[in-house]
Structure 1
């Protein structure tokens, strides 16, 4: 890590401590003094989070906040082995705890202070120290320089080339392709002066290969997913800011990548990797760009491969390469042409993962686990390469060995790697390859066009990449330094974002696939239910999706009606595709198509709108592209009121205090009226589809080793209008179903809606409970009553027949 940045971070913290000192000296009672305490506390929390986040980011990247950090913040870390980063997490938490302790001391000092007059000079000194702390903190300058780099679009077309697939030549006998991504295994590991004898098998393979010795790394290519995109699409993977759509089932949909080109030429493409395909959108990338099979940790475990023999990231290299060999043999016999791309885990930061086959393998004195793992992976690659050669597979297959990116700063041998100019590994072997060394300056952006030429498809540019055996200048040759390349790529971040990640543009006509529940917009598929906001020119501003986890949040943010009620202007044009019941609030005539899908096009203020049933697959919709709608000034308020009543859940949050002091997660209990649009009666994901009122019991079991398990039981349907039946007793009903062994009640509830047959209302109420609203309930109206474990009434709630009501339970420790 950069020692200079660490030094400046330390200076920033010291300056902040001086700020604490001066502001404590100036503490005074009164409005102004309290306001200073509040402002400084908020700023301190921001500084604390910024400092802690920068420490983590710098540990991973060596340059603080960069494209990889923002990309992961946006797309999440599902599939990452977090356990190995526990020390780093503890450091972050320690930084936050340190500042919280200081703040607690500062606030306590304020409350105990008896000073009535404000000392202006210490306040000014404290404010100056805060400003200086933020100014010298590398986190601040790093963040500002990254986020606010001047964006230029004009010269991007001079360097970017979109491959014209239709113009790429066909060949009679295309070669197969086998691509080995080697995790972080940069070319410097093959430097015998730095690591003598570390990778003997790759050195042997190099004797059969064309080796590119000067392949550098650009910004937007410094982690696995970015390295794959750079080497296959000729584009950096910079953070996505324009398209805030997390639900698009596409990864760089407008980019033409190597997989797209090979698929168009009849290639059968597959990807195999040891890690989880969900991490960083890897699986989505391959599926969207020509690959018919994408297998990772989950897919292998589902086939009982590697189960029980896994590391924190996924499969060990020996398991992966065994599966890879078997798959390639099968493809070579039955399919032509084919391409298989893979990536290993063995050499992953920070310590590597030594495969079982290599338990006795050591490099040197064996003290560096990562180098031991690299030595092991090298042996496994050599074994696999010889086996492929013996099978004759390399006679018609081009093989690529390449690092996905340079080794990160977090590894032990990093200082040794820095002793020579660093480059990525890129070697091409196999059919028709004549061994040579190519010293041409390039980047990982140039790998796809270079490989395409080795596959005999001619010298083509792909994105910002150029064929390293061709005549066109690479970015590394066009710009005199790596810093200038990175600055240029950052200045293109917005144009790259909008060109390859942005929302599609609405045309006059779009089609809807009813069976797949997808909207086709300019050859890009979008799932529905969805609400699409767009301008009069057809530019999509946002795509909103209705979430399925509404009952786990306790609010309405995942219901599309919430956006129309709260977040959309009166004249905002939108297309809403959803269940007809949902849209019936805007157009009542759609309500007759229950259980089917409709669309609504217009704005809340549109006196005239376009809406209809979607009757079949490939149904076409004509979109209104301008503001030709007549405007009604009164209509938006009317729509919003009805949407709020009918399309949103009517929530009530309560604190529930069971006798046993166990930490329970929040629970949602809901009941839908007979005419409700949002149909949800039950507890959490446990639904009751039948109309009527039901007594339910929510139980739990607890064991220190296994934690808490929950279970909902429907005990009885209540007959509150049957005069011929005996009096109903809730205590009696609660005893009709014995508790399962090990479970105890957390609470009881009555949920649902009153039977439609109860024309005269409730005539046969419960005899042993104080439920004030139950007797006045009308047919079809939703109802919730909550009781504690001893059947004492805790809460009661009713609604209209077209509403869904819910209570959100927070327990003792959640107050």
Structure 2
């Protein structure tokens, strides 16, 4: 931690105590005294929050408030190992309690004081001391310099290059790519003068690699998420406060990153990490930029991997690298090129995490836990590297070892790291790589274009990054001092924000590209189905996108209709572009265009709206920009009810308690009415597209080695209106499809909707079940009945023919 900053923070607190002393001496009753008391209390609260927040931020960054701090303040700390930072939390709480007690004491003095005389001199001395306290506090200058840096947009295009995916040269046999992010493991840890013998395995790998020795770190690249964005997109992560409308629905949707380029070339991309993917939007970043499979702590635990053997951040490195090895062997058998990116936890600040395989591993005298963990991770990397090499993986794979960022100030060996010029680790080995040492100055922004060239896709720029083997100058060469690079990047914060995160302003018209399902606003493209919420002045407040995850998640919040029915105010202007039958709830006239896309523009309460079929590829929509016309709250209420009744899935929840004590995966069962807008009848992810009622069985096979394997089988269609048939039972139907050897039934279900030919209702019900609603079912209505493994009735649910009903299943102790 920066001692000078701490010293000045302490001085600021002392000055504030003097201010407190003088203001107590000036306490008086009456209107003026009351106003002073209220103002002083509010200012004191602000000072305590500012000081406490700064002390924590400075502990992490060494420079006080920076983009990493504001990024986490805005997007939360889900997935972070908070218990590691308990002393900091207690420090923050202590500061707040201290100032709270001062405020309470001051207010108490105010109430017991009966004097109405106002002492001017102590008052102004107190006010002066408050100004001095704020002036000398590093938090104040730090915050002001961050928020009010001059923003320049004009010269950004001179340095920024947006990759043209269509112009990427084709490669006959693309190489695979295996990218190891090594948490905070900067190049100085490999310096034998500083840490002799710490990373012997990486030194061996370095002998087979092209090693870049002068890879610096820019502002906006000093924490994990920022390091990943910098190294894959050629952009710093500097986009937090300039865009008031930014919401974490997409991660830099307009940036073209390494994953986008590789995906365009037919790569199958995956990410594996030990931490929670929700932390800092990491999972969203990968999913939005070409990665098909993104696995973190939650995904592994869901597969019973690592559960019970976790640290406060997630999986230990031995577990992660074991899973990585198995996955790479599987992918390598496929014909298409693949890329796997991973990041470990073992070397994470502040103390590291020693894997179980390394319980007896020590570095030096063993007093530094982080160095012990780094020594362990190095051994695990060497073990994995040799195993992959023996499998022949490196014959057609480029392998990268790189730090995500420099080690932060919170690590114990920080002072030792500072004894030499600090650089990030960046080594490339594998197919076609000839060992070499490169001393060209660069930053993590240059990693993606450099790697792309090693994959034989040519030398080109990506964002602000340049190929370190190419001819174009890097930022580190253009601005030879680190502070010059950072100053330039900070001056581009706004243009980076608005170019890759922000929403353009709406004009009176916007275009629809039907062929590629995009909304075109000021030359920026946004996919649909989508709901755009905007103000009468044309300022977009939010863009929501339709999702197919609603059934797997058991949550209506993935439906645009949920937002309209539950979260939008009556006179909020919006443009909704979706399937015509979905929009027919608001305008029944659109219901005739089944299979097509339409739009609806207005507000829920507006008596005037615009809606129509999107009839051709380049349609233009004239937007309603005025919400001041007649408002009908009854119409809004009607629309909300209709949306809830017709467009949302009507959920229920059932808890199964099978005899087995195996922890089963949560799942869903749904049934769509014949006229339902959400057309989905499914059991545990298996879709049933035909109308009618079906008996379905879900069974599983379990072994300690392979875990649980599930199977969903449609056993038989059920006819309830065929008078010519004999009576039948579920038990009879279940015998028509014997269980596969080794499988055990988990549950049975009857799902779907009643056949339309059942005009006289159900005339031929089942004989062996107590299904109260089944006999009263009308043609086209959705129906779900659930049975346990012994075919005992557990739950029954029906709906109207224009509804989709669903059940969220939980098992044993999963509640």
Tell me the TM-score normalised to structure 1 length.
0.71
1:90 equivalent in structure 2: 90
Deviation at 1:336, TM superposition (A): 3.4
1:610 deviation in Å? 0.5
What does residue 161 of structure 2 align with? 161
Q: How does 1:117-156 map to 2 (within 5 A)?
A: 117-156=117-156
CA distance in 2: counterparts of 1:535 and 1:481, whole angstroms: 47
- In the other structure, the counterpart of 1:111 is 111
Once the 2 structures are TM-superposed, how far is the Cα of residue 592 of structure 1 from its aligned partner? 13
How many angstroms does 1:335 deviate by? 3.3
Q: Which residue of 1 aligns with 2:267?
A: 267
The separation in 2 between residues aligned to 1:428 and 1:582, in whole angstroms, is 51
Partner-residue secondary structure (3-state), 2:53? helix
Listed as ranges, the matches of 1:190-201 within 5 Å are 190-201=190-201
Q: Give 3-state SS (helix, strand or coil) of 1:72's partner.
A: helix
Query: Aligned residue for 2:527?
Result: 525
**Does the 8 Å contact 1:180/1:342 carry over to 2?**
yes
Residues 294-332 of structure 1 show CA distances to partners (whole Å, capped at 9, x for unaligned) of 111111111111111111111110111111111111222
Distance 1:526 1:310, change over 3 A: farther
Q: 1:265 to 1:364 in 2, by over 3 A?
A: same
* 1:38-57 alignment, distance < 5 Å: 38-57=38-57
Given the superposition, is the C-alpha separation of residues 164 and 125 from structure 1 closer, same or farther in structure 2, using an over 3 Å criterion?
Answer: same
Is contact 2:248-2:281 (8 Å) kept? no
State the alpha-carbon separation in 1 of the partners of residues 467 and 381 from structure 2.
27
Conserved 8 A contact 2:246-2:501: no
**Pair 1:597–1:477, CA change in 2 (3 A):** closer
Partner-residue secondary structure (3-state), 2:171: coil
In the alignment, what sits opposite 2:33? 33
Residues 367-378 of structure 1 correspond to what in structure 2 (within 5 A)? 367-378=367-378
The within-5 A match list for 1:123-272 is 123-244=123-244, 249-272=249-272
Which of 508, 511, 515 is equivalent to 2:510? Answer: 508
| Structure 1 Cα separation of the partners of residues 565 and 126 of structure 2 | 47
Is the 8 Å Cα contact of residues 520 and 526 (structure 1) preserved in structure 2? Answer: no
**1:612-627 pair list within 5 angstroms:** 622-625=620-623
Answer whether contact 2:528 2:577 (CA < 8 A) is retained. Answer: no
Q: Is 1:426 matched with 2:426? A: yes
Which whole-Å deviations, capped at 9, do the CAs of 1:538-574 have from their partners, x for residues lacking one?
Answer: 763544799999999xxxx9777875458x6xxxx64
Cα deviation code 1:135-179 (max 9, x no counterpart): 111111111111111110000000001111122211222221111
Could you list the per-position Cα deviations for residues 93-129 of structure 1 after superposition, in whole angstroms to 9, with x for gaps in the alignment? Answer: 1110000011110000100001111111111111111
Write the mapping of 1:433-452 to structure 2, written as runs, cut at 5 A. Answer: 433-452=433-452
Alpha-carbon contact 1:449-1:466 (below 8 Å) kept: yes
Match of 2:662 in 1: none
* Closer, same or farther: CA 313–217 of 1 in aligned 2, 3 Å: same
Following TM superposition, by how much is the alpha carbon of 1:389 offset from its aligned partner in structure 2, in angstroms? 1.4
Aligned: 1:79 with 2:79: yes
- Cα distance change of structure 1 residues 619 and 44 upon mapping to structure 2, 3 Å threshold: farther
In the TM superposition, residue 85 of structure 1 has moved relative to its aligned partner by 1.2
CA-CA distance at 1:623 after TM superposition: 2.1
Q: Distance in 1 between matches of 2:38 and 2:208?
A: 68
Q: CA deviation at 1:479?
A: 0.7
Following TM superposition, by how much is the alpha carbon of 1:454 offset from its aligned partner in structure 2, in angstroms?
Answer: 1.2
Find the counterpart in structure 2 of residue 474 from structure 1: 474
Question: Is the contact made by 2:610 and 2:624 (CA closer than 8 Å) also made in structure 1?
Answer: no
Deviation readout 1:246-305 (Å, 9 max, x if unpaired): 656421111111111111112221111111111111111111111111111111111111
Secondary structure, counterpart of 2:527 in structure 1: strand
What is the rounded CA distance, in whole Å, between the counterparts of 2:315 and 2:304 in structure 1?
12
- C-alpha displacement of 1:611: 2.8
Mapping of 1:358-397 within 5 angstroms?
358-397=358-397
Contact 1:216–1:443 (8 Å) recurs in 2? yes
Task: Measure the CA separation in 2 of the matches of 1:606 and 1:356.
Answer: 64
Distance 2:588 2:90 in 1: 56
Q: Normalised by the size of structure 2, how large is the TM-score?
A: 0.71
CA contact under 8 A between 1:449 and 1:462: conserved in structure 2?
yes
Alignment of 1:622-637 (within 5 A): 622-625=620-623, 635-636=629-630
Give distance in 1, aligned partners of 2:514 and 2:42.
48
- 5 Å-filtered alignment, 1:516-665, equals 523-525=525-527, 530-533=531-534, 540-543=540-543, 564-565=569-570, 574-576=574-576, 600-602=600-602, 608-611=608-611, 622-625=620-623, 635-636=629-630, 638-639=631-632, 641-642=633-634
Residue in 2 that maps onto 1:485: 485
CA distance in 1, matches of 2:514, 2:459: 40
Whole-Å separation in 2 of the counterparts to 1:177 and 1:491: 34
CA contact (8 A) 2:175 2:337 kept: yes
Farther-moved stretch of structure 1 (153-162 vs 499-508): 499-508
SS in 1 for 2:448: helix
Q: Are 2:180 and 2:402, in contact at CA under 8 Å, matched by a contact in 1?
A: yes
What is the alpha-carbon distance in structure 2 between the residues aligned to residue 576 and residue 174 of structure 1?
A: 41
What's the CA shift for 1:508? 3.1
SS at 1:178's partner residue?
A: strand
- What are the within-5 Å matches in structure 2 for residues 714-733 of structure 1? none
TM superposition shift of 1:620: 9.2
Aligned-partner SS, 2:332: helix
Partners in 2 of 1:560 and 1:128 — Cα distance? 53
Q: Distance in 1 between matches of 2:545 and 2:175?
A: 44
Contact 2:605 2:636 in 1 (8 A): no
RMSD: 3.7
State the secondary structure of the residue aligned to 1:401. Answer: strand
Measured against aligned partners, the alpha-carbon deviations of 1:459-491 in whole angstroms (never above 9, x if no partner) come to 111100011111111101101311111111011
CA-CA distance at 1:512 after TM superposition: 8.8
Offset at 1:386?
A: 1.1
Structure 1 residues 27, 480: CA separation in 2 closer, same or farther (over 3 Å shift)? same
Indicate the residue corresponding to 1:290 in structure 2: 290
> How much has 1:210 moved relative to structure 2?
1.1
CA pair 446-642 structure 1, distance change in 2 beyond 3 A: same
What corresponds to 2:810 in structure 1?
none
Q: Give the aligned length.
A: 635
Query: For the residues of structure 2 that align with 1:122 and 1:590, how far apart are their CA atoms?
Result: 73
Cα deviations across residues 353-404 of structure 1 (Å, max 9, x unaligned)? 1001101100011111110000000000011111111122112211111000
> Are 1:363 and 1:372, in contact at CA under 8 Å, matched by a contact in 2?
yes
Q: What's the offset of the Cα at 1:586? A: 8.7
Q: Please give the alpha-carbon distance, in whole angstroms, between the structure 1 residues aligned to 2:556 and 2:171.
A: 56
Gap change, CA 1:193 and 1:248, over 3 Å in 2: closer
Q: Secondary structure at the match of 2:575?
A: strand
CA distance in 1, matches of 2:584, 2:263: 44
**How far does residue 132 in structure 1 lie from its aligned partner after superposition?**
1.0
TM-aligned CA distance change 1:55 to 1:686, over 3 Å: farther
Summarize the Cα distance change of 1:626–1:242 in structure 2 as closer, same or farther, 3 Å threshold: farther
Distance 1:487 1:72 in 2: 22
Instruction: Find the residue that maps to 1:508 and give its secondary structure.
Output: strand
- Taking the aligned partners of 1:276 and 1:221, their CA distance within structure 2 comes to 20
- Contact 1:460/1:466 (<8 A) preserved: yes
Alpha-carbon spacing, 1:311–1:607, altered in 2? closer, same or farther (3 Å): closer
Whole-angstrom distance in 2 between the partners of 1:445 and 1:519: 31
- Provide the C-alpha distance between the structure 1 equivalents of 2:581 and 2:265, rounded to a whole number of angstroms: 46
Rounded Cα–Cα distance in structure 1 between residues aligned with 2:351 and 2:419: 20
Contact 2:56/2:88 (8 A) holds in 1: yes
Task: Report if the CA contact (8 A) 2:601-2:623 is conserved.
Answer: no
CA contact (8 A) 1:221 1:237 kept: yes
Q: 1:31 to 1:188 in 2, by over 3 A?
A: same
